[in-house]
Structure 1
Amino acid sequence: MITQPNHVPERLALLDTSAVDPFLTEELLRGEQVHGGIDLAKVVEPLPEDDARWWIEPIRSLVEDAMFEFREDRTRADAWLAPRLHATLRLTRREAADKRLWNHLALAVAPDYIVWRHLPEVTAKQPEPRVAAQRFSGPADRQCFSRLWWAAELFRNGPDYGPVEIACGNQDLIHTVLRMDLIDHRPTAQALVRLLKSGQVTTGREVNGLSTAINTAGATLIYDILAPDEPRDPAALRDWIAEAESAQPVERHGLPDGPDEDPAPEESVAALTGYFAELFETAPIRGRESGG
């Protein structure tokens, strides 16, 4: 397995997508060899040096711990890393929407992690497996690190990352739901997690069927009316970001705390959990016998 680049920068920066291709080599995608890092450092845009959030060391430490801890089951790393990456990289949504940041994290800081996590196993049908290029530089729901950050942002319940662990423990939920605009409605996200936690929804087919039913119903039913959410206090996020200067490294065994925001209203979450459970009973699920 490849190791990190010989030259890993001390700070995060911005790497334009137009500059990515020379570093996204076949050797890297096949997990054989990573670029040295020196040439990449020449084409990045620096981030402000007075911002403690851009130090690389806490992120490198996280991914190395994940690779060690989950070496026997790589997919389980997602549920562990998502909340800790989010709490380490204290971003605004606007900052997180900048693909250049994730390009740099993927190619300059932790390309070895992406290969470790996403290189398929060798099979008869796939004797020369490759990592999908989108894992390094792609849409927010596909790029290795941005998908975890956004999953944590959308599924956390105020400061509580517990729902993130549950959501990221189901690959189909991440793949399907991160594409849904409705998931930005906090009671919707929390209701989905509760159905997973209760065991009512378990398999990938069930997740996909329920997600389709929720999306279809949402076209005619406005969830904000059925299950209103409270507006977020932007000061809580600003304070949390400002605390990055003095924040300790995130815990490895216990979950960190997110921004000190109020959780989604319990009445709204409960109402949608019940409604989604009813939707699930009639949702077309491949392989499920009619009538439930």
Structure 2
Amino acid sequence: MTTTELDGGTERGALPPRALIVTMLGLYVREFGGWISVSALIRLMAAAGVDEQAVRSSLSRLKRRGIVEAERRAGVAGYALSEYARTVLEVGDRRIFAQREQQARDWVVVVFSVPESERQKRHALRSRLSWLGFGTVSSGVWIAPGHLADDAREVLLGDGLDPYVDLFRAEYLAFGDPAAKVARWWDLDSLEQLYTDFLDAHEPARAAWEAQRHVPPGPEAFADYVRALTAWRRLPYLDPGLPTDLLPASWSGTKAAETFFELHRLLAGPAHDFVTAEAGAARQG
């Protein structure tokens, strides 16, 4: 699935057209052979409240960032996902749609040292570790729950950053309260607010759709699903799946996850059927 690595992130409370389009591309375009016509994308995004000018402007930005590539097929103007985008989407699928169980208290620790002459690599490392959900112990020591070890290895190797890094599995043994340490290594207050914002925005839709006995395909199901997924997809990166017993008692992340996955259960199928019908109609005329 999609990640903020592709759309550059979203501001709190905002769902900009570019982010909605990236969600749409990640959800469906790989299924369509990695390509979609401009007319089909405009038609579909209109159902999510994005006008044609915003679609075209967003596509231009995504092209400049190497996310999509302009390509004509059978004389029809369209866009294909880049190889880079496909790789990021594959990593994102595992993170965004994973329903996490209670995590064990094992950790993966990254220790890195970068020569001053290559300080751009230091910036790249910090950016990638932050994107993966690592917390900061000190400037060259970053930590995450142990289940992120494979993702870390894959991303650091793929970006050619492995020569600067040592990767360890670890267990916290002594000399502090682990919950207090976690609160220092991650910005839990900001993350809690993001979860609360998500619930405020999408819990009413969950309740309304759940009250229906059957959810038919249509623009409403598609729009609510794309909006919910766009708002949700950055959260599993900011929240790396910390052990529940190390989080505040009032933690709203669990309720937010329940809301998202219930919307996913209710709306993914009807939204997919709507997109398939609309994309087919666009191809025919």
Q: Which TM-score bucket, shorter chain as reference?
A: under 0.3
TM-score by length of 1: 0.25
Q: Larger % of helix: which?
A: 2
